[in-house]
Amino acid sequence: MKRPDTPACALILGFAAALALLYAPAPSRASLPDLTLAAPRETPLGAPSAIPAPSLAPEPLAIPVVPPEPPLPAPPKEVAAEKPPSLPAGEVARLPAAESPVPSFSRGSGDQKHVALTFDDGPHPIITPRVLDELRARGVKATFFVIGERVKSYPWVLRQVVAEGHEIGNHSYSHRLLSGMSEEMIRREVGDTQAAIRDAIGYETCLFRPPYGAFQPNANAIFREYGMNVIRWSVDPRDWRNRDAMLISNRVMRESRNGAIILCHDIHRATLQALPVILDTMLGEGYVFKTVSELCGLPPLRIITASHAPSRSASEAKN
């Protein structure tokens, strides 16, 4: 079979393509993409701003936004308790001025061989005068811390004490423990005794010995009101417990040192019996007996001599 010529075939195919283009429908304008760009806009300053090309990505779904709840307030911080200011080493906390201690003595200076002999809980109508006899016989002066109730009962004994040159101190009105009392009760214990002493001898004292040697700081303001010096002791023969004259005297002589304040009681017979041995032995050893004021360097109390001592009333003489 004879193949057709190539030029003739090409002519026939070109004629067919031309007829297809002639009779094909024309495309609409809407079906063509708009390839034109909008003219650039000008900003107020005249600078053109680029318009972004439209995004072909689908728009995300609109999700409602719920505002977050406000945070809860933080719990208040605990405020640490303020610590008291620390004190430098060697210092101690000081009491308020109203409670600061008044001058207090339990002994005197140890420079010399001086001691003070004291008697508590009197005056006693029988024993105190006999104690005075022993002291007078040796030229010894002592200090007597008296109970207000006893002063009211035996004022003439107190007058005899001061008439012989001895010293008087306040030992409360009822000899009750001050540390368990209110300020008002302490004031009565001190003040009523001061009044009883003044009524008996014409003046008051500035020496105070607390019963049992104890009191609370609230008593300091009261002592200060009365101008008191607190007097305790350094030698206690415990004659209030052991009624043995030899035991009492041995303890006094064994424990006494220069500047000692010796505690005794002029209401016990055993103390009266021990007194001559105490006085004679200590005087023989070179001790000098002083009043508390002399031993501690305090201003001397007023001394009433025998010629100026108040006379006993008729009612007192009967007792």
At 170-211, the pLDDT tens digits run 999 999 999 989 999 999 999 999 999 999 999 999 999 999
Annotated catalytic residue 120: yes
Instruction: Please name every residue paired with 260 in a beta bridge, in sequence order, or none if there are none.
Output: 107
Specify if 152 maps to a domain.
yes
Quote the number of domains for the chain: 1
Q: Which of 120, 121, 192, 239 is catalytic?
A: 120
Helix and strand numbers, DSSP H then E, in the chain: 10, 10
CA separation for the pair 114, 110 (Å, rounded): 8
CA separation for the pair 73, 71 (Å, rounded): 6
Specify if 127 maps to a domain.
yes
Q: Which pLDDT score is estimated for 211? A: 96
Residue 81 CA from chain centroid, whole number: 17
Average pLDDT on 16-43 reads: 50
Annotated catalytic residue 265: yes
Q: Is 134 exposed, middle or buried (0-12, 13-18, 19+ CB in 10 A)?
A: middle
Domain that holds residue 217: 105-318
Specify if 95 maps to a domain.
no
| pLDDT tens digits along 38-50 | 444 444 444 444 4
What angle, rounded to 10 degrees, do the helices at 127-138 and 155-163 form? 0
Specify the higher pLDDT residue, 27 or 89. 27
- In the structure, what pLDDT confidence band is assigned to residue 295 with cuts at 50, 70 and 90? very high
Specify if 221 maps to a domain.
yes
pLDDT at 89 over 50: no
- In the structure, what pLDDT confidence band is assigned to residue 101 with cuts at 50, 70 and 90? confident
Q: Which pLDDT score is estimated for 218? A: 87
Specify if 159 maps to a domain.
yes
pLDDT at 88 over 70: no
Specify if 28 maps to a domain.
no
Q: Which pLDDT score is estimated for 16? A: 62
Q: Which pLDDT score is estimated for 70? A: 54
Average pLDDT on 62-88 reads: 48
CA separation for the pair 170, 204 (Å, rounded): 9
- In the structure, what pLDDT confidence band is assigned to residue 319 with cuts at 50, 70 and 90? very low
Specify if 162 maps to a domain.
yes
Residue 248 CA from chain centroid, whole number: 40
Q: Which of 124, 166, 171, 265 is catalytic?
A: 265
| pLDDT tens digits along 115-138 | 999 999 999 999 999 999 999 999
Q: Using alpha carbons only, what angle is made at residue 58 by residues 53 and 64, rounded to the nearest 5 degrees?
A: 115
CATH code for the domain of 271 = 3.20.20.370
- In the structure, what pLDDT confidence band is assigned to residue 299 with cuts at 50, 70 and 90? confident
Specify if 135 maps to a domain.
yes
Compute the mean pLDDT over every residue in the chain, rounded to the nearest whole number: 79
Q: Which pLDDT score is estimated for 80? A: 45
| CB 299 within 8 Å of CB 153 | no
